[in-house]
Copies of this chain bind each other. A is one copy, B any other.
């Protein structure tokens, strides 16, 4: 089983250290940062499966961090792990989109089973791959990497296929640069972005035989596969 990648945001040095080591021992890949600002930076650059936020931290607290994530349209599951046990805080946490709110002091073993439970739910809902997609006059089979129009077939490469699938899953909605890159490339930097452009060019060429289909760029935001038909 692939390691799950966790981002731990915790300003308390000793707790942060203990948790990081424990979770690593339990076969998680953990990045520990000590404040919300650093968290935002790495979230834009690297993919994670789940984030764990402390609330009370200097500079940017956990709530502010969650607000920032929502505002920036970063799609990442997160939960709060906090000493703040008041109900009002819990309600606020969930209303910000947290998938859990765990009160300190936490038993490490309990934390691990809760993390695994949440991660397995998240994974289950993410995996749903259909057999055949219709794109205007084209049809696309992600499992064979095959793009067909009329009788013409074209075999896409793995990357081309993944990218097209990603765009299709968000058909007529923005697929954000950062989300694409984090999902397909695993990181988001200058070179990946360039690479992404190259593959977008490929897909546009392959799909050029049906004018009702286009891949638009939304400046500084992402790409959007538009099918005007249907």
A interface residues, Cβ below 8 angstroms from B = 73, 77, 87, 90-91, 94-95, 98-100, 107, 109-110, 113-114, 116-118, 121-126, 128, 130, 143-145, 155, 157-158, 172-174, 216, 218-221, 224
Bound-state Cα–Cα, A87 to B112, Å: 12
Question: Which one of B91, B114, B118 lies within 8 Å of A109 (CB-CB)?
Answer: B91
Q: Are A91 and B113 in contact (CB under 8 A)?
A: yes
Kindly list chain B residues whose C-beta atoms are within 8 Å of the C-beta of A100: 117
A-B contact pairs, 12 of them (CB 8 A): A73-B143, A87-B107, A87-B110, A91-B110, A94-B114, A100-B117, A121-B121, A125-B125, A125-B128, A143-B174, A144-B173, A144-B224
Bound-state Cα–Cα, A157 to B219, Å: 7
- A87-B107, A110-B90 given; A99·B117 CB < 8 A: yes
Q: Which residue of B lies closest to A95 (CB)?
A: B113
Kindly list chain B residues whose C-beta atoms are within 8 Å of the C-beta of A216: 155
Bound-state Cα–Cα, A157 to B113, Å: 44
